[in-house]
Structure 1
C-alpha cells in the first residue's frame, strides 16, 4: 500500500483534538440479534462501526453501575480506606428485588471492596454504601452522577438511582453508555476493575466475586469470545438484558453496547442471561472478520519544519504526537492520502488553543479520518526578531542602493572615458 504525505501539518506544539468520526460500516444482520439496540464504537480510532437505534432512549438497568463506579472512583482518595456497612445500605435489598454483594450491617471493609461489589456481583448494597459514604445519601450521589454524565456529553441520559432499578425517568442510550465507558476507562482504578478477573474481599468472610463475563459463563453457560476484556451487564423485566463490553480486535479497543435483549426472542430460552453476551460475540466477531488495522502515522514521525515570523522561536520541527491507525475494510487496497488544510506559516503571536487547520486522511475522495489541530502553547511576539527582520530588509535595500550607486558610477566613468576619447579624436582631426 502506498502512503502519500501531502502538506502534513502537526507538531509537538500542537495537540490533536476535536476528532470527527467517520462511520465505517460493519455488516450485521440485525434480525439475528437478541438485542433491540446495538452500538459498536472503535475507541482507538474514534469511529462508529455499527449503529442500530444507538441514539434512541432505552432503560440501562445495572449498566448504570458503570457510572456509579466511575463517579465514585473520581471522588475516593484512597480505595484501601476502611469503611463500615450501615443498616440502611442493606435494608432494602430484598424488598426491591435488587442484586446483592452479600455485605451485612456492621461489616468493616474497604472502598475497593465496594467498587468491586458494585461492578462484579452488581450489588445494590455496595452502590448504596458508596452513595452514603461519598455524598451523604444516594439521592445526593445521583446528583453527582448526573453532573458527571452531563460533563461527558451524555446528552440523552438521566439517572434516578445508583443501581439501575427501573424508573420511567431513568434512561440513556447505547451511544451515551459507550461515551461513558470510553471516559471511565481513562481512570486507572476503574479500568483495572472493569478488565480484572475474580476478586476476593478484604474482609474475614473473603467473599469471592466473579466478573460479569465469568459469571455469565458459569451461570448462563454462555462463553464470551477471547477478544472481550471486560463487561457490565444489566437486567430488569422491562429493560431486558443489557451489556456494555470492551474488546481488543485487530489492535483496536472496541466498545460495544446492547440493550433490551430477551432470551425468548427466537423461541424457547436457551441461554437466559447469556443472550446479550452472544450478541456481543456476533458483533465483535464481525468487526474482527470484516476489518483490518492499517497504520497511518507513527508517533514522533518527522514530517516538516514550519517557519514562525516575529516569534520567540524562528522555526520548529513538526512531529506526529501519537500513532494513528484505522480499522478499514478487510479487502481495502486503495491509496491513502494524508493532507493538511490550513496555515503553513505562523506569525506571532499565536495563542494556545488557536485553530490552525485540519489533518485529513482520505482515500478516493472519501474522508477516513479528520481532526482539528490546535496550538498547545502560546508563542509570544518577539521585538528582537522583528528588529532583525526589519534590519535585514534595510540592509538588503542599502546593499541594492550601494550596488546601484556603484553601477551608476561605473557607467558615468565609462561615459566620461568615451567622451574624452571622442574629444581626442576631434583634436587629432
Structure 2
C-alpha cells in the first residue's frame, strides 16, 4: 500500500516532456494528444490505487470478522463441552434417584406384623410352662408369644407330627407371594377332581370345567379346607403340584425351618415324609399373619364364591373354627385359624389370638379326638396362659 502512494506521488510531480526526442518542440495538436494520454494514465493509476486500498480495507474487515467468528465458535464449543458434562451429571442424578420397584400388593405386610418379633426362631426353655391341665386333651400343644418371641407353654411342642390340613396355611402363603391378579381364572380339571376324590379330601365343591377366580381358590383353600381349591391353586401358580411343593419347601428353607419340616403335598395328605413340629407350624402361621392378604383370608368367617355357570349363586363357605370359638372366653379374640385332620394326627388346629391387653399369640395343637375338643383345648390354653 505504501508503494502505491509513493508511485502516485512521483507521477503527479513529474513534469510533462514538451519536446520530442530530437529536441524539437511539440506542436499544439501533439501536445494535446500527449497531455490526454498522460491524464488517462494518471486517472488509471489513481483508480487502481483506490481499488487496491478498498481491497485491503475489505480484506482487513473480513479477517476481523473471521477472528470474531472463530472466537465465538471456540466459545460455543467450550459451552457445548460444558453442557455435555452437565448432561452427564444430570443423567447420573436421575439414575441414582430412581424410585424403588413397587412391591406386589399381595406381599404387603399386615398391620399386626409391626408388633411381632423378628425372625422365625423360638426355643422352648426352662421358663416355658408345661401344659399339664386335665382340660387340654390334645397330645401335642404349644403357645407362643409373638411380641417377644417366647414359648409361653408347651406339651411336646417340638415333636414331629403330620400337620394334616394345617399344611394349607403354607399353601396359602406361597400362593399369595406369587400371584399377580386375584381376578384371574383357572379351570378345574378332571385330574384334580379325580385326585381329590381318590384321596378322600375335603372339598369346596367346585365342578370339573368350572372357571374359578384366584380369589375364590385362596378362600376355598382355608375356610372349608378345600383340597380341590388347594390343588387348583398349586397348578395355577406352578403348573403342577410337584413344582408347587418345591416352592413350599423353598419357603421352609427361607424361614429357617427345613431342618425339622418337610412337605410332600399342598393339601396335608398323610405321608411319612410330610412332617413338621408344632413350633414349625406356629412360625408358618406367623409368616402368614405377617402377609396382609393371608391375614384377611385366615380371619374371614364367611365367604361366598363368585357366580359361575355351574354355581349361579356361588358357594357359601365358612371358617368353622373361628365361628365356634368366637363366643368362648379366651381373654381376647381369635382372629385367624386353620384346622386339620388325618387319622395319624387326629384333629389339629392352629389359631392366632389378640389378647385383651393387646399381646399377640399363636396356639397350635394336634391329636385331639374331635374338632370340638380341639377348639376347647385352645380355649383352655388361652384362658390359662394369657390372662
1:236 aligns with: 342
RMSD value, Cα: 2.3
Q: 1:284 to 1:217 in 2, by over 3 A?
A: closer
2:362 aligns with: 255
Richer in strand (by share): 1
1:40 aligns with: 143
**1:274 maps to 2:372:** yes
Q: Report the secondary structure of 1:113's partner residue.
A: helix
C-alpha deviations, 1:153-189, integer Å up to 9, x for none?
1130111111101111111000000111111111110
**1:284 maps to 2:382:** yes
**1:173 maps to 2:277:** yes
Q: Residue 307 of structure 2: which of 199, 203, 215 is its match?
A: 203
Tell which structure's C-alpha radius of gyration is larger.
Answer: 2
Unaligned runs of 5+ residues in structure 2 are 1-116
Shift of 1:228: 1.2
C-alpha deviations, 1:309-347, integer Å up to 9, x for none?
xxxxxxxxxxxxxxxxxxxxxxxxxxxxxxxxxxxxxxx
1:78 aligns with: 181
TM-score, scaled relative to structure 2 = 0.63
Q: Report the secondary structure of 2:276's partner residue.
A: coil
How many residues were matched structurally?
262
TM-score, scaled relative to structure 1 = 0.57
1:114 aligns with: 217
Decide whether the 8 Å contact of 2:295 with 2:336 is kept in 1: no
Q: d(CA) in 2 for partners of 1:98 and 1:84?
A: 19
Q: d(CA) in 2 for partners of 1:238 and 1:129?
A: 26
Q: d(CA) in 2 for partners of 1:89 and 1:79?
A: 21
Decide whether the 8 Å contact of 1:27 with 1:286 is kept in 2: no
Q: 1:172 to 1:92 in 2, by over 3 A?
A: same
Shift of 1:200: 0.6
**1:227 maps to 2:333:** yes
Decide whether the 8 Å contact of 1:134 with 1:141 is kept in 2: yes
Shift of 1:18: 7.0
Greater displacement, 92-101 / 231-240:
92-101
C-alpha deviations, 1:258-290, integer Å up to 9, x for none?
11112xxxxxxxxx321111110001111232x
Q: d(CA) in 2 for partners of 1:162 and 1:285?
A: 33
Decide whether the 8 Å contact of 1:37 with 1:52 is kept in 2: yes
Shift of 1:223: 5.6
Shift of 1:217: 6.6
Q: d(CA) in 1 for partners of 2:269 and 2:339?
A: 13
Q: d(CA) in 1 for partners of 2:316 and 2:341?
A: 22
Q: Residue 213 of structure 1: which of 321, 334, 340 is its match?
A: 321
Decide whether the 8 Å contact of 1:212 with 1:230 is kept in 2: no
Decide whether the 8 Å contact of 2:301 with 2:323 is kept in 1: no
Decide whether the 8 Å contact of 2:120 with 2:255 is kept in 1: no
Q: Residue 127 of structure 1: which of 210, 213, 230 is its match?
A: 230
Q: 1:223 to 1:139 in 2, by over 3 A?
A: farther
Q: d(CA) in 1 for partners of 2:172 and 2:262?
A: 16
Q: d(CA) in 1 for partners of 2:352 and 2:204?
A: 23
Q: 1:142 to 1:21 in 2, by over 3 A?
A: closer
Unaligned runs of 5+ residues in structure 1 are 1-15, 263-271, 290-429
Q: d(CA) in 2 for partners of 1:217 and 1:274?
A: 9
Q: 1:99 to 1:215 in 2, by over 3 A?
A: farther
Q: 1:214 to 1:255 in 2, by over 3 A?
A: closer
Greater displacement, 92-101 / 68-77:
92-101
Q: d(CA) in 2 for partners of 1:88 and 1:145?
A: 21
Q: 1:47 to 1:217 in 2, by over 3 A?
A: closer
Q: 1:216 to 1:168 in 2, by over 3 A?
A: farther
Q: 1:273 to 1:97 in 2, by over 3 A?
A: same
